[in-house]
Structures are given as structure tokens and as C-alpha cells.
Chains A and B, each alone.
Chain A
């Protein structure tokens, strides 16, 4: 027998109360870990963005197309290295539950500007030579068991082809993997030229241009120069850095995260009240036992340390279960939100925050019981009779 065994036995003394307290901790840490995963996605999107990449879209809205010939006009702007373009296809496989992030991209420059999507050069060349070829992320390949050479039908709820169908046939020509572990591995790319020729409407237009500027360039000045070029045209442009673009896209989620953070603070405050109250209740129930242990020679510090260990144990169990549940939930959310919010994952530093939080919460929950222990008069709690 040792003190840890005593802490363990004391923790499980009233099983129903222990389970209920742990459940409240589980909820708090579930929210904490889930939010951390979403927060990580928001921050990663921004940090993954290339600071030398610009995005040019229609000034009014991203949903409005731009003429494809803007590429040449943008290319001659000073300090620009490369220009490429893309159009949003959307798409799903077999049924609308299997939503996919499918984009039509310009075949020559796109993958040299977006070098985070990496694939063998032979596959890239094969794709460039295959009119209906697609390059898919390795997670897509894994999920649907697609291999090179497979013919896959993808449907779009936006784009009809010249045959009057919303289902387009593609051939898998390449499989990319992410340059680092935060790169989205669930995208699909196909040739814009094929898209433009095969779609029933909106020929010779693109959704946006992606521009790589020279390292020495002032990115804001370049953006102004591009927009000035088209200021008086029928399709004026808005050029922003990729970081700003991602930030704007994520803005709605950041606001949501703000709300969740406020809710989470309230949850944690309530959690502290619950656990503190539980610990106080435990101390009140064990006053005579604590008095006896003090009489035996246990110091107030030693008894407070036992209360701390008990709080720490309860919080740790709850945090472990809550975090595991959050992991399971996030892995599903990650798939569902692959297009909107890629990179949902738990960062390693989250675990440091988690452990710090447990240590602090256990300390806070021990303060009042420890004060009771220090103030406890042994003789009055052993049933003394004068």
C-alpha cells in the first residue's frame, strides 16, 4: 500500500459521483480539443499560404468569371514570374454525399506555382498529354481505391457538358502527395482546356488567376498595378495576396471560433466550479478521516497533496476520454470539411496546453479543500467531548 493507492481508492469511493464528475470534464476537454483542431486548420491555412502568390478574381464576387485572355495582360505586369488560372468545378462521386474539391486548372504553370502538390514528373507529363486526365490527392485515391488509368465519372451540380450531361468522365493520370503534413491531400485537378471545350456555356472564362511574383517585388504594388489594368474594363478585378484570401475565406470560421472560445471559457469556468464543489464535498464527508490522519502524523501539506492528486486523476481521466472523442470526431469532420476547411488536425503543442490546463485546474480545485485541511481542528473532528 502507498499513498497513490490510497488516492486511487478514494477517487473511486463513490463511483456514481466519480463518473458524473468525469463526464463533465469529458465535455469540457472534448470542446477544448475540437476547437484546437479547427483553430489549427484556420492558422495552418494562413501559414501554408505562399507569401509570393496573388489571387486575381472579379471585383464584385468570386462567382463572377473573368476573361481567359487576362492571363497575357497580367503576365506583362512588371515583377511577375508566372500566371496561371483555374475554375471551380465542385463535383461529387456517385452521390452528393461524396463531395469532392474538383478544380479545372491551366496545365503548364499550375503545378510549378503550387509546388505543395507533388507528383512524379512522368505522371505530370502524362496528365498534360491526356485531355481528360485528372490528378488526384492520395487520400482521394485511398478513399475510393482509384489507381492510375482508372476511368472515373464525376458529377457537377453547376457544369453541364455539351452532351447535356452533368456527369463528366475522367481518367486518373497522376496521384499527388502533400509537400508537408498540413497540405490538403483530397483535391482533384483536371485540364482547364478540356473544361473550356467541353462545357456547355461560359467558354473562355476562368474563376480566378493565380500569380507568382518575384521575390524582390512589393506584393501590394503589383496587386495595384494588375487591378489598375482592368479598372475601366467590363470585368474589373480585385487582386489580393493568397494569405489575405485564405483569411477572408476563413473569416466566418474565425468568428465561429470566437463564439466557441467564449462558450468554452464558460464551460471551463463551470467545470472548475463543478470539480471544486465536488472536492469540497469530498473533504466535508471525510473530515473525521482527515482529522484521524492528522492525528496519526500526516501533515496538512501531505493531505492537500493527496487532494491535488485526486483532482488531477479525475481531470486526467476526463481529459483523456474527451480528447480521444474529439480525435474521433475531428477525423470525421476533417473528411466532411475537406473543401471548406482543410488541415483540421491536433497540433503537438495542444497536448502541452492540455497538460498545463489539467495541472492548473487541479491546483485551483485544491485551494479551498487545502484551506479546510489547514484550518481543521483535529480534536473537534474526532468526536471530542469536553
Chain B
């Protein structure tokens, strides 16, 4: 019923306990993202943008509902199965790039490849390719503290794509960057979407992102829409 490469959130309920209060983040939430889309989720803080990203990436589980990514309901996967699934399918780019300060740019990019059966030489080659793709070859031996914010984010993007994950989840990747550097990063992500067919879901406050993405979801408006409340089992058939 659904495209095997699409992302579908079906009837998602997500709440958590904060002291004695139950905080409801999402209530009966539905969303479909097609394969190859570059989607920006925008809106004011506190609406659950990052939570959505974490649900899609298997970093968090819904209280109820289905998270179907590439045909698998990942909400039902065990913790260990989810860990393996993440390493094979998802690339993450965080606002704080989360590069390991003790490793060079190249070693940081190689990190996800330690989970693969690749040889040391193959890992090095893959990392070099990924760094070349983000124009960071000349900084491969530099440590994060020797790089600018934009360069660090480029390395983080190289780390996200080095395993050839089809889906990139970006949590405010330009949040800490100046305008020019932010544009560079958005251009890079757009290139990865257009030239390499990556499905990209990005959470952002940056209005400029609309120039680079294929769809903008204003979460505040979307939550009030019928589309959000209707579980569209047939969305792919209609489209």
C-alpha cells in the first residue's frame, strides 16, 4: 500500500511525563514524505519538529502509531535491530555537529564505517570520497577545533553520507552558522538531493531554506490541517 522508499508516520501519538504532568507532543499525527523529496519542517519552537525527526530516525519511539520507513515499521523494532537499521539507512546531521574532538576530520567521517565489514583501506577511500563531495579534502587531517563552524558541518554531512544512507535527517544544520555559510550548507544538501537522490528531511527555523527544498511543511499550519489528522493509507496510490 505504500511506496517502499517513502516515509510514513501513521496515527502517531507521542507524549512524555514531565514531573506529575503528561506533556502531549503529537496527537493522532500523520505525515508522508516521498522518496527523493527534500522536505523542510518549520515552525515555532515546542511544536515537536525535532521529535518528528527523531521518530523517523528511530532515535525515539512513538507512544502509539506506526513509523514506516522504506517499508518497515521501525516503531516495532527492538533496540538492537533499530541500532543496526539506523546504521544502514539513516544519515544524521545535527545542529551541533557532534564531531569527536579527538579524531581528525577523516577519522570522524570513517566512524560509521567501523560498523561495516569494509577493510581499513576501503574505509579510508570511502571517507576521502565523502570529504571530496563536501569540498573538505584539503582539511582531512585537521581536527574539529582547527575547523570553522561551516567546515565542521560539512564534515558532519560527509559523515552522514559516507555509508551511502538513502535518507538524511538534518536537525537545524544551519542553526549555528552565518548567512553565507548557511547558504553553502543548504546548497550542498540540495546537491545531495538532486544529484544523488537522497531523501532529506530537515528541521529548520531558517526561512531561506524554502529556496532550496522541494516542500516546506509549516508545522503550525500542518497540525491544524485535515491532512495531519487523516491517516492516508492510499497517499502513494493517489500520487
Give A residues with C-beta under 8 Å from B. 1-3, 5-6, 9-10, 12-13, 288-289, 291-300, 377-379, 382-386
Shortest Cβ distance from B48 into A: residue: A386
A55 to B94, CA, bound (A): 81
17 contacts between A and B (CB under 8 A): A1-B106, A1-B110, A1-B111, A1-B114, A6-B107, A9-B103, A288-B98, A291-B98, A295-B57, A297-B115, A298-B87, A298-B115, A300-B79, A378-B59, A382-B171, A386-B25, A386-B48
A289 to B102, CA, bound (A): 11
A-chain residues with CB within 8 Å of residue B101 when the two chains form the complex: 13
Question: Given A2-B114, A383-B94, do A297 and B51 touch, yes or no (CB 8 Å)?
Answer: no
A292 to B159, CA, bound (A): 11
Decide if B132 is an interface residue (CB 8 Å cutoff). Answer: no
A351 to B106, CA, bound (A): 40
| Interface contact A295-B96, CB-CB below 8 Å | no
Q: Which of A3, A289, A295, A299 contacts B100 (CB 8 A)?
A: A289
A9 to B115, CA, bound (A): 19
Q: Which of B54, B92, B96 contacts A288 (CB 8 A)?
A: B96
Shortest Cβ distance from A385 into B: residue: B50
Nearest Cβ on chain A to B149's Cβ, whole angstroms: 15
B-chain residues with CB within 8 Å of residue A386 when the two chains form the complex: 23, 25, 46-48, 50-51
Give B30-62 interface residues, CB cut-off 8 Å to A: 45-51, 54, 57, 59-60
Q: Which residue, of A297, A299, A384, has the highest number of chain B Cβ atoms within 10 A?
A: A297
Nearest Cβ on chain A to B108's Cβ, whole angstroms: 9
Decide if B154 is an interface residue (CB 8 Å cutoff). Answer: no
Give B residues with C-beta under 8 Å from A. 23, 25, 45-51, 54, 57, 59-60, 79-80, 83-84, 86-88, 92, 94-96, 98, 100-103, 106-107, 110-112, 114-115, 120, 123, 159, 171
Nearest Cβ on chain B to A71's Cβ, whole angstroms: 76
A-chain residues with CB within 8 Å of residue B110 when the two chains form the complex: 1
| Interface contact B98-A289, CB-CB below 8 Å | yes
Shortest Cβ distance from B104 into A: residue: A1
Q: Which of A298, A378, A383 contacts B60 (CB 8 A)?
A: A378
Can you list the 10 inter-chain pairs with the closest CB atoms, starting with the nearest?
Answer: A297-B87, A9-B102, A292-B98, A1-B107, A379-B54, A379-B60, A378-B59, A384-B50, A297-B86, A379-B59
A298 to B92, CA, bound (A): 13
Shortest Cβ distance from B98 into A: residue: A292
| Interface contact A385-B83, CB-CB below 8 Å | no
Contacts A289-B100, A297-B83 aside, 6 further interface pairs with beta carbons under 8 A come to A1-B120, A292-B92, A297-B86, A378-B59, A379-B50, A382-B94
A-chain residues with CB within 8 Å of residue B120 when the two chains form the complex: 1-2
